[in-house]
Amino acid sequence: MEPIRVVERRAGTVESVHRVHAVAVRDGEVVASAGDPGFVTFFRSSAKPLQALQLVRARPDLDERLVAIACASHRAEPEQIQAVRDLLAAGGATEDDLELGLQEGRPPERIYHNCSGKHAGMLAVCRARGWPTEGYRLPEHPLQQAILDEVTVAADATPATGTDHCSVVTFALPLVRMAAALSRLPELDGGERIAAAMQAHPQLIGGEGSLDTQLMQSAPGWLAKGGAEGLLCGIAPDGAGFALKTEDGAFRALGPALSSFFGLDEFARLPVENSRGEEVAEVVVG
């Protein structure tokens, strides 16, 4: 089956074309696909629900808000930054302990990086387990080794690894294995708690304009987490894990592709505005 074709159309003329690969897995079986379910890419931030498993096991006392921000790729909205500060405090850490850099276009403080919640959660795990906090981001650190084991078990596959933009380990897998891993999240120790926290606080996960936040807010029962380079993973209300990947890394194609793949009309059309706020084009399946 061909990938989902998403275009930007301006005044009736197609300007750009994006190819989106998609797969859904339920009870270990592929139940729907478009394009190549075996397309290999990095899990990037879509792996955050799995990366947070160590946190909820080490700190069962954390409230849902702090669990949610550990799974977030936030937009530095005030509520999100306060949640990161609270998670750092709960873990006995400070912003100086965060082993990530500054993010272009954001205030020059590490806490404003969109992965600061994940890093705050990792520091909390290290404190709780008695692991060193220095170097927690490195592949040889016991935390990263434990997370690699989590992903391997959930995906039932051994991923290749690389370094994510925020400096921690990221995992390369076929889309079908990513979808399978997410489908198993509720069965994993702590997984139900992570899913519940994300669904209870979708505004923390991405923020204004983020597709994962919009999906969880508008369609109850869905779990979603975006990742860099045009990736969206999650769990449908029927328990199917899913993974969608834009071949060229364009995020704007994901909403229309999601709509086509699952029949979610709300995301079928993305309007494109000019600098005056006038609609001049659209991104749609076509």
pLDDT tens digits, 148-167: 999 999 999 999 999 999 99
Tally Cβ neighbours within 10 Å of residue 96.
8
178 close to 171: Cβ distance less than 8 angstroms:
no
Q: What is the CATH number of domain 4-285?
A: 3.40.710
- Supply the pTM of this predicted model: 0.96
- CB under 8 Å to 16, separation ≥6 — which residues? 7, 8, 250
Q: Average model confidence (pLDDT) for the chain?
A: 98
Tally Cβ neighbours within 10 Å of residue 220.
8
19 close to 248: Cβ distance less than 8 angstroms:
yes
pLDDT tens digits, 184-215: 999 999 999 999 999 999 999 999 999 999 99
In this predicted structure, the answer to whether residue 5 has a pLDDT above a threshold of 90 is yes
Q: How confident is the model at residue 226 (pLDDT cuts 50, 70, 90)?
A: very high
List the structure tokens of 45: 């931030």
